[in-house]
Amino acid sequence: MSLVEQIKASAKEALKSLYPGVDIPTSAITVNQTKPEFTGDYTLVLFPFLKLLKTKPNVIGKQLGDYFVSHSGYVASYDIVAGFLNLVVKDDYWVSFLGNKYNDVKYGEQPATGKNVMVEYSSPNTNKPLHFGHLRNNFLGYAVSGILKVNGNNVTKANLVNDRGIHICKSMVAWKHYAHGATPKSTGIKGDHLVGDYYVKFNDVYKQQVEELVSEGMEEKLAEKEAPVMKEAQDMLRAWEKGDKEVVDLWKTMNGWVYEGFDITYKRLGIDFDKMYYESDTYLLGKEVVLKGLEKGVLFKKDDGSVWVNLEDEGLDQKLLLRADGTSVYMTQDIGTAMLKYNDFNLDKSVYVIADEQNYHMQVLQLVLKKLGEPCADTIHHLSYGMVELPSGRMKSREGTVVDADDMIDEMIAMAQQQTEEAGKTEGFTEDELKELYETIGLGALKFYLLRVDPKKKMIFDPKESIDLHGFTATYIQFAHARICSVLRKEGLDKDNATFPGFKATEALAPAEKALILWLEHYADVMQAAAEEYNPSLLCNYTFQLAQQLHSFYDVHSISKAENEEKKQLRLMIIIMVARVMRHAMGTMGIRLPEKM
């Protein structure tokens, strides 16, 4: 039990003892870290109790403060400030915590829950490479998977690849007419980029054809339907659905090029998956379920034969599930896929990492599944996140204005190299070590910046700001970790195996020492909150503040020239545990920390 939980439990017992018959739920008790300008370590908020107890804040504050001092065993003193009870925790508690958790390599992790959780993320289209807009999705999915796993869940990382449809056929039509047999091997172009080039080419040709038809007197909307290249793409899609061998072979070939390209990018990003689903395998799955829903009267059919669900009682509208010709729509496919995932892995929770543009779609999906009586409905959680823009604004794939993920990776690594070289920090590294360092810094900066903002918020990505050594960045944390490793090398200690069997702490803790231990003690609570909220930004904020506390500690204390051996051992234990927690937190999100910078 963390100290915050202990304080809440003690407050609950104290109130029951002081005010018989009063049983305030733990959820109504708020405990925060004491603000730096006040004396104390943790603050108990008194205001929620005043109306119920009909007592003044100073009175209840003194009663609770005296109770903590005499009964808790861990509170040394207290101070009451305008409705807040500030508690000073005994040094013995902090020293004991450090001694107990110093060798716990799994500190911050929770016991197994037995719950099966799937996190679906990435979900790319096979008509173009992964682009910058995919990065927040991928990093969120990977980080949330790691956080949920650390919190004791059996996690499956899944990717549903959108490998069929009109957008795929557009690339195929353009390649067929304009590529002259070009392949990734013959051109030296990465497969997903090659296919993406022909998606852009299709739209260039389409736009030109529409303009020509309009200039000949056709209305624009009709021209958009009658453009020859669009009609050919639609014919190709119908041929694919009928299993036409020539079309299917081309589809398999071009998708194969894209998958090879995706694999390279995923590997560079440090992203992986446990299960791959493909739309070409799942797009027909929901049709049978919808027809059964129609038979049961849960759904209804319109005069043209199309099948709909009525969600007006839920404050929404009517939603199409099967077209008049009996073909499926995206919602039909998603119904079937949700059931497939649930049955494949006996899921307790199915997390969809999807941008907030799809909030309505996900709401409808869950409501339809509930109406159909499918148990998977209750497992669905939509991790809705805000879109990311560059300072130049939004990007559009069909117009070729998208920044590819590969290009962004290259840019970040190049910036890391430039920054390191300009700082003169390359001495003592081999060429291979420098290459790895630049990748660690560049990718760390990219991931952290996209994760440090609450997922629900939209954001603008600034590459230069993301790698600032003095900013709210992974680079700042990486430097703090490297600084610890440098101290340990000078002391001849292994960061993973340093032991202090005879350690004792008889002297009072200095404020900076206590502050670091307090932040370490807080880690398990932050990791648990990050899982409950599906929010990696909590870990980012925590680790950054831990690094800040470390730098503040270095400003006032020396380790090599500590006052005595006892202080030296204490400080070494503290910084070694700080480094371990940093690695654990950042590693959970897929961010590496170097030992030298």
CATH of the domain at 494: 1.10.730.10
Q: Is the pLDDT of residue 391 over 80?
A: no
> DSSP label at 333?
H
Q: Could you say which of 89, 108, 140 is where a domain stops?
A: 89
Nearest CA to 459 out of 362, 363, 356 is that of 356
Worst-scoring range by mean pLDDT, 111-115, 221-225, 504-508?
504-508
Q: What would the pLDDT profile of 250-265 be if each residue is shown by its tens digit?
A: 999 999 999 999 999 9
Q: What would the pLDDT profile of 55-64 be if each residue is shown by its tens digit?
A: 899 999 999 9
CA distance 447 to 507: 41
Is 47 found in the same domain as 171? no
Mean pLDDT over the full length of the chain: 94
- Reported as half-sphere exposure (CB side, CA atoms, 13 A), residue 298 has a value of 15
Contact predicate 206/270, CB 8 Å: no
Contact predicate 153/117, CB 8 Å: yes
Is 183 found in the same domain as 83? no
Return the number of other C-beta atoms located less than 10 Å from residue 562's C-beta: 15
Is 183 found in the same domain as 67? no
Q: Could you say which of 270, 304, 328 is where a domain stops?
A: 270
Q: How confident is the model at residue 400 (pLDDT cuts 50, 70, 90)?
A: very low
CA distances from 43 to 1, 72, 86, 225, 542 (A): 18, 15, 4, 66, 18
- State residue 393's pLDDT score: 52
- The SS3 call for residue 332 is helix
Is 169 found in the same domain as 84? no
Note the helical H segments in 216-271: 220-226, 228-241, 245-269
Nearest CA to 596 out of 494, 484, 496, 498 is that of 484
Is 553 found in the same domain as 417? yes
CA distances from 264 to 268, 314, 353 (A): 6, 44, 22
Domain coverage including residue 12? 3-89
Q: pTM above 0.85?
A: yes
Q: Is the pLDDT of residue 113 over 50?
A: yes
Is 191 found in the same domain as 67? no
CA distance 350 to 277: 14
Q: How confident is the model at residue 24 (pLDDT cuts 50, 70, 90)?
A: confident
CA distances from 144 to 106, 124, 149, 466 (A): 18, 19, 8, 21
241 contacts: CB under 8 Å, gap ≥ 6: none
Is 565 found in the same domain as 418? yes
Q: Is the pLDDT of residue 594 over 90?
A: yes
Is 442 found in the same domain as 551? yes
Rg (C-alpha) for the chain, rounded Å, is 29
pLDDT (mean) for 416-428: 92
Domain tally for the chain? 3
Q: What would the pLDDT profile of 151-177 be if each residue is shown by its tens digit?
A: 999 999 999 999 999 999 999 999 999
CA distance 361 to 356: 10
Q: Could you say which of 270, 288, 312 is where a domain stops?
A: 270
Q: How confident is the model at residue 397 (pLDDT cuts 50, 70, 90)?
A: very low
Percent of the chain surpassing pLDDT 70: 98
CA distances from 284 to 97, 278, 335, 459 (A): 56, 12, 10, 36
Q: What is the CATH number of the domain that holds 9?
A: 3.30.1360.70
pLDDT (mean) for 437-444: 98
